[in-house]
């Protein structure tokens, strides 16, 4: 017979049972020959290891000013419209896996015929500009708060927003068709995080309706910052500001930055100066840190100076572990070069447009700017952007 581990043989157990009953004077109704069953002693399981806190993560890429000058439109023309996507072929792998791709559409996308298309100093791009930024470039977080959004009429803002409505970006902010739309904050739920995108401009070229463009004047910015801070897990703010062609921030920028930091903004994305400016993390009163990209420079344009042609892709991770606050991590900047043939040709003859990672642009930089190189441009970027974010070579 196989004995139970740690038990006496059955016959010994029965004998002990009888002796016990005799000694205590108790009786048993169990028949002498009835089988006796035993339940093996239960073993307690080892304490379970607590599961690791869940992690939520959102990857964001951001690109600077998109200015469709004459040559940009000319080389985007196709047999049946416009395709701006091929300009981005060489850099698309850098950002295409991101959850959000922020783009500053610096101009109205409202022209419905070639006769309506205009460029500097008053821009009106074809509606296909927005369509191509969405379909071919991959932009899904759209800033419309900039000075050129007021180059024409409210009807042009309306058409631009109508075009984007059909494209269904994840987030869009900055220019509006009504007072109600202006009061409505853009939110998106991505990987378990509720993200707010706000957008404001400190500059406006023309007159516009009170609701057409979100400006830094008046109570709107303070009101939306307060609401977004209460409603969202992450608050990102696009700011069109600064002094054109200056790699240094100006006093109004710094004042606005402090206001955004005090209001709890997580990320500030600066556009407008058309050149790069410093990136920095700033401690907030609530114990968090705000990532400020003061200016991302140009991405798509035919502005000729080398600093105007040096842009890049800013990237960062929004991370939340368990029920903790969202933190901004892994901030990087990958420099780019806006390549086209300008040296020795007339304004209207600029051609060969494409955006290159700076790592692939050495020959073209040297050709357009004798004395410059990809290495000298990396040095410029590192000096300008600073050492609080990683510059990727």
pLDDT number for residue 347 = 86
pLDDT number for residue 48 = 66
How many Cβ atoms from other residues are within 10 Å of residue 351's Cβ? 13
User: Helix (H, G, I), strand (E, B), or coil: what is residue 47?
Assistant: coil
pLDDT number for residue 36 = 45
How many Cβ atoms from other residues are within 10 Å of residue 219's Cβ? 7
pLDDT number for residue 206 = 85
User: Do residues 314 and 267 lie in contact, with contact meaning Cβ atoms separated by under 8 Å?
Assistant: no
pLDDT number for residue 301 = 98
pLDDT in tens, 193-242: 999 999 999 999 987 899 999 999 999 999 999 999 999 999 999 999 99
pLDDT number for residue 4 = 36
Query: 337: exposed, middle or buried (C-beta count within 10 Å: 0-12, 13-18, 19+)?
Result: buried
Assign domain 55-391 to its CATH architecture. Answer: 4-Layer Sandwich (3.60)
User: Do residues 316 and 334 lie in contact, with contact meaning Cβ atoms separated by under 8 Å?
Assistant: no
* Residuewise pLDDT in 10s, the chain (393 residues): 433 334 434 334 434 333 333 334 434 444 444 444 444 444 445 566 667 779 999 999 999 999 999 999 999 999 999 999 999 999 999 999 999 999 999 999 999 999 999 999 999 999 999 999 999 999 999 999 999 999 999 999 999 999 999 999 999 999 999 999 999 999 999 999 999 999 999 999 987 899 999 999 999 999 999 999 999 999 999 999 999 999 999 999 999 999 999 999 999 999 999 999 999 999 999 999 999 999 999 999 999 999 999 999 999 999 999 999 999 999 999 999 999 999 999 988 999 999 999 999 999 999 999 999 999 999 999 999 999 999 999
pLDDT number for residue 47 = 63
Cα torsion angle, 237, 240, 246, 252, sign = negative
pLDDT in tens, 156-172: 999 999 999 999 999 99
Helices 251-262 and 220-231 meet at what angle, rounded to 10? 40
pLDDT number for residue 208 = 80
The candidate with the shortest Cα–Cα distance to 68, out of 260, 312, 303, 371, is 303
pTM over 0.85: yes
Token code pair at residue 59: 């990857």
pLDDT number for residue 348 = 84
What CA dihedral angle connects 148, 153, 156 and 157, to 10 degrees?
70
The DSSP line for 176-242 is -SSHHHHHSPEEEEETTEEEEEEEEES--SS---TTTB-BSSSSHHHHHHHHHHHH-SEEEEEEE-S
Domain ranges of the chain: 55-391
Cα torsion angle, 216, 220, 222, 224, sign = negative
Q: d(Cα 172, Cα 23) in Å, to the nearest integer? A: 89
pLDDT number for residue 207 = 79
């Amino acid at each position: 017979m196989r004995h139970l581990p740690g038990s006496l043989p059955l016959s010994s157990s029965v004998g002990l049972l009888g002796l016990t009953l005799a000694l205590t004077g108790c009786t048993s109704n169990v028949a002498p020959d009835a089988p006796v069953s035993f339940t093996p002693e239960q073993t307690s399981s080892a304490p379970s290891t607590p599961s690791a806190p869940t992690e939520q993560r959102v990857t964001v890429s951001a690109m600077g000013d998109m200015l469709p000058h004459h040559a940009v439109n000319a080389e985007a023309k196709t047999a049946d419209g416009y395709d701006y996507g091929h300009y981005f072929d060489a850099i698309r792998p850098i950002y295409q896996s991101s959850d959000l791709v922020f783009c500053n559409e610096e101009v109205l996308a409202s022209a419905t015929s070639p006769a309506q298309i205009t460029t500097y100093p008053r821009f009106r791009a074809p509606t296909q500009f927005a369509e191509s930024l969405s379909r071919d470039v991959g932009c899904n977080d759209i800033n419309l708060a900039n000075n050129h959004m007021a180059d024409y009429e409210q009807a042009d803002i309306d058409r631009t927003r109508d075009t984007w409505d059909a494209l269904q970006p994840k987030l869009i902010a900055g220019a509006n068709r009504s007072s109600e739309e202006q009061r409505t904050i853009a939110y998106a739920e991505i990987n378990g995080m509720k993200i707010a995108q706000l957008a404001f401009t400190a500059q406006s070229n023309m007159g516009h309706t009170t609701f057409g463009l979100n400006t830094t004047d008046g109570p709107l910015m303070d009101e939306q910052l307060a609401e977004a801070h209460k409603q969202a897990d992450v608050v990102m703010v696009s700011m069109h500001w600064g002094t054109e062609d200056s790699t240094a921030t100006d006093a109004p920028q710094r004042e606005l930055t402090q206001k955004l930091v005090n209001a709890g903004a997580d990320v500030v994305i600066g556009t407008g100066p058309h050149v790069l400016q410093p990136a920095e993390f700033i401690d907030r009163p609530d114990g968090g840190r705000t990532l400020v990209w003061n200016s991302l420079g140009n991405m798509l344009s035919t502005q000729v100076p080398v600093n105007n042609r040096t842009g890049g892709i800013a990237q960062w991770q929004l991370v939340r572990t368990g029920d903790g606050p969202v933190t901004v991590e892994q901030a990087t900047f990958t420099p780019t070069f806006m390549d086209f043939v300008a040296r020795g040709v007339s304004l209207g003859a600029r051609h060969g447009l494409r955006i290159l990672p700076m790592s692939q642009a050495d020959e073209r930089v040297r050709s357009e700017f004798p004395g410059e190189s990809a290495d000298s441009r990396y040095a410029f970027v590192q000096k300008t952007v600073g050492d609080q974010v990683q510059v990727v070579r």
